[in-house]
Amino acid sequence: MMTTQDLLVELFVEELPPKALNKLGDAFASQLAERLRSLGLASADSVVTAYATPRRLGAHITQVWRKAADKAVQQKLMPASVGLDADGKATPALLKKLQSLGADLSDPVAAVIALRKEGDGKNQALFYDSLVSGASLDSGLQEALQQAIDHLPIPKVMTYQLESDCELPGWSSVQFVRPAHGLLALHGSTIVPVKVLGLTAGNTTQGHRFEAACSPVVITQAEDYEAILARDGAVIASFAERRAEIGRQLANAASKLGGGVKAIEDEALLDEVTGLVERPNVLVCSFEPEFLEVPQECLILTMKANQKYFPLLDGNARLTNRFLVVSNISPTDTSAVIGGNERVVRPRLADAKFFFDQDRKKTLESRVAGLDKVVYHNKLGSQGDRMQRVRTIAASIGQQLGGAALAQQADCAARLAKTDLLTDMVGEFPELQGIMGAYYARHDGLGEEVAGAIEDHYKPRFSGDELPRNPTGIVVALADKLETLVGMFGIGNIPGGDKDPFALRRHALGVIRMLVEKDLPLDLGSLLNQVRPAFGDMIDPNLEPLSDFFFERLSGSLREQGYSAKEVDAVLALQPQRLSEVPRRLAAVRAFAALPEAAALAAANKRIGNILKKAPDVDPHVSEVLLRESAEIVLYEAMKQLVPVANAQFETRDYTTSLQTLAALRVAVDDFFDKVMVNAESLDLRLNRQGLLKSLHDAMNRVADLSKLAS
């Protein structure tokens, strides 16, 4: 076979969507490589490098052949009794099949003789062996390129017009993520003549719009693409290298300012900016210090979201009046670039200051009535209606957790928690809801407890986010999320598949985290029953689907934390309503599973469960006078001694010790099943033995369903 060479493919396009750029680049390269491998044109050891800049998607693949190896193909045709007549000649069915396969039928007799036969008698079958020519790179790359384009995860397709060739005068429509203007395809130094999106491949591309040394940039060898594009085109082709370069420049620029100044860390912003520049140049800019009177969250958000700037924080994580810009040009005199960016950001900061000043002219209390005019859901009323429900729920939870004082604080925070939705600042920056409410609450003199609760009642906003910082925040956050969950489930808005428009999965996990991590003495079922009356007759009163939803989310979360499926299933099979106890139960099950007695007891527990399924109404009462066999007497005496101890340990939430205490029953349980017939002919004996097993089953399964540990 011919030696391999590197393959380079590049699509040169108009500016690609920056947030999707890295994903597009990886998908383009991986799709190309995958298809070429399946065609036998690329080796399993081929190294694939993806390229993605604002104006190009590319892929470099090592060890690519000009032509794939020929393949021997063995194909079963049909039973010999169908393909051959009594004289051994080909039947019409066989000839038609051979013709469809492209076999040479100039001599039908010879064609039949060439067929391979396997099997004997009625089981004999005919096989056609052929050699299929391997795909050429020209045809294989054409197929792979089209497939890669068809399967790109394009966020939104653009339709544009492409001038047709002279044979088809006029214009034709093309669909792609952005208009494409160039196609490069090199195998080593040889152009691969593929066509796509109305383009024919060549060996040239374009470099940086303003700083390229020449235009076009000629790529002479596939393996030299990155170096030539950097030298002649002033472009860093690799997304990862460009991102790393921006990170280095950001850190370097911040360190030169001294005082522990650092650029704000934001991986999404770094990805987006990497998708906006081809050769980054980080510059330091500043704004007037008086803007720092505005809450820093507002300034940070407007600089990041609107301008793609990196705010600078001092050693105390406070915003400074300087920020970093990632420019796409590197002029000798940077003053014009710096001045331009400073002029652009100033009106944004001025708007933020104006909104902040205007909002503080009205108290949060004065905005409460306005919530009645804001629609929450057409089946659940306004934000004002929702606020009243949350108040009722928060007061109830607060009373349980901290008495009248906490209930009063929670009621105040719940009443005002949504009022910042009516402020100018949150209207401009919805991401600041809660945060601005806290600032305005402090300005209104409501105290840190209420202000913190207003900010924190949205927490946790995402996986890994911190929980509310104070008891009032915990209560209002629970009330807010439970109101959403009960209301949405109550009107049938249940998440399905990937669809979860009301973020109910996130809300459920937030409730679970607060109950567990704050070790709250609240039962899930009781909580749901407290919430339901706040809706009156607006919702379906059946809360069972929501309860199941909670345990599904909890199960998934525990598995992600590293617990095994058996451990999770054993604990959650009992659906413990006090979720704060679940970690202790899991720890107990894990410790029990490590004991030498565990496997036998789990198997016995499963056996007992199967027996009791056939006698569901068994009374756990045991009559000592009906204990006849020594093995059942020994088991009963052991249970009398150990079960009360285990129960006492269970009541003090020492679940690990409780299960370890019961593990001492292993020998007696094994002996019972070896020597005692549970289903005795005598009804009294049978019921008594079933009662003994019921007592044992109840005792063994208070912490978890141990039968789930059986293999």
Do residues 693 and 611 share a domain? yes
Q: What is the mean pLDDT of residues 493-502?
A: 88
Domain end: 207, 233, 259, which one? 233
105 and 217 assigned to the same domain: no
209 and 263 in a common domain: no
pLDDT at 230: 97
Contacts of 66 (CB under 8 A, 6+ apart): 2, 5, 136, 137, 187
Distance CA 518, CA 511 (A): 11
The residue whose two tokens read 């380079």 is 8
For range 100-119, the mean pLDDT: 77
pLDDT for 90 equals: 83
Q: How far apart are CA 138 and CA 423, in angstroms?
A: 62
Quote the CA–CA distance of 19 and 160 in Å, as a whole number.
22
Q: 97: which residues sit within 8 A by CB, 6+ positions away?
A: 77, 78, 83
Radius of gyration of the chain (CA): 36
Encode pLDDT of 461-485 as tens digits.
Answer: 988 899 999 999 999 999 999 999 9
402 HSE (CA, 13 A, CB side): 17
Structure confidence at residue 170 (pLDDT): 54
For the residues 636-640, what does the mean pLDDT come to? 94
Tokens of 198: 């109305």
Binned at pLDDT 50, 70 and 90, residue 617 comes out as: confident
- Per the structure, the count of domains in the chain is 5
pTM to 2 decimal places: 0.81
**CATH number of residue 654's parent domain:** 1.10.730
Run of H or E residues at 263: strand 262-263
Q: Is residue 245 part of a domain?
A: yes
Phi, psi of 426 (to 5 degrees): -70, -30
The whole-number pLDDT of residue 166 equals 46
Q: Are residues 124 and 224 in the same domain?
A: no
Q: Please tell me the distance from the alpha carbon of residue 108 to that of residue 254, in angstroms, as a whole number.
A: 82
CATH code, domain with 228 = 3.30.70
Question: Is 123 domain-assigned?
Answer: yes
How far apart (Å, rounded) are the C-alpha atoms in residues 271 and 267?
A: 6
The reply to whether 400 and 505 lie within a common domain is: yes
Largest CA distance in the chain: 106
User: Where among 192, 209, 233 does a domain terminate?
Assistant: 233
In a 3-state reduction of DSSP, which class is residue 379?
A: coil
Pick the closest to residue 21 from 167, 340, 281, 240 (CA basis): 240
One domain, residues 90 and 32: no
Q: Are 248 and 236 in contact (CB under 8 A)?
A: no
206-220, pLDDT tens digit by residue? 999 999 999 999 999
What is the average pLDDT score of the chain?
Answer: 93
Evaluate whether 82 touches 90 at the Cβ level (below 8 Å). Answer: no
The pLDDT of residue 88 is above 60: yes
- Taking 70 as the threshold, does the pLDDT of residue 692 lie above it? yes
pLDDT tens by residue, 38-67: 999 999 999 999 999 999 999 999 999 999
What percentage of the chain reaches a pLDDT higher than 70? 98
> What pLDDT is stored for residue 71 in this prediction?
77
pLDDT at 167 over 70: no
Residue 587 within any structural domain of the chain:
yes
The answer as to whether 161 is a domain residue is yes
Q: H or E segment at 127? A: strand 125-132
Give a yes or no: residue 590 inside a domain.
Answer: yes
How far apart, in Å, are the Cα atoms of 616 and each of 268, 613, 687, 698?
A: 57, 5, 11, 13
Same domain? 418 vs 281? no
- Residue-wise over 672-707: b if at least 16 C-beta within 10 A, else e? bbeebebebeeeebbbbbbbbbbbbbebbbbbbbbb
pLDDT of residue 598: 92
Which has the minimum average pLDDT: 12-21, 68-77, 324-333, 530-539?
68-77
Measured CA to CA, the distance from residue 644 to residue 680 in angstroms comes to 28
User: Do 617 and 545 share a domain, yes or no?
Assistant: no
Q: What is the pLDDT of residues 234-252, one digit of tens each?
A: 999 999 999 999 999 999 9
- Asked if residue 569 is part of any domain, the answer here is no
Do the domain assignments include residue 248? yes
Q: What percent of the chain has a predicted confidence (pLDDT) above 90?
A: 81
Q: What is the mean pLDDT of residues 270-289?
A: 97
Please report which confidence band the pLDDT of residue 2 belongs to, taking 50, 70 and 90 as the band edges: low
Domain that holds residue 588: 583-709
Residue 603 domain flag: yes
Q: Are residues 124 and 147 in the same domain?
A: no
145 pLDDT higher than 60: yes
Residue 608 DSSP SS3: helix
Please check whether residues 603 and 698 belong to one and the same domain: yes
Stretch 572-596: mean pLDDT: 95
Answer yes or no: are the C-beta atoms of 25 and 239 closer than 8 Å: yes
Residues 552 and 640 in one domain: no
pLDDT at residue 111 in the model: 73
β-strand partners of 74 = 129
Q: Which of 18-32, 111-125, 537-551 has the lowest mean pLDDT?
A: 111-125
Chain centre to alpha carbon of residue 344? 36
pLDDT tens digits for range 283-323: 999 999 999 999 999 999 999 999 999 999 999 999 999 99
- CA angle, 629 as apex, 624 and 630 as ends, to 5°? 90
Same domain? 154 vs 125: no
The pLDDT tens digits of the residues spanning 338-395 come to: 999 999 999 999 999 999 999 999 999 999 999 999 999 999 999 999 999 999 999 9
Rounded average pLDDT over 564-584: 96
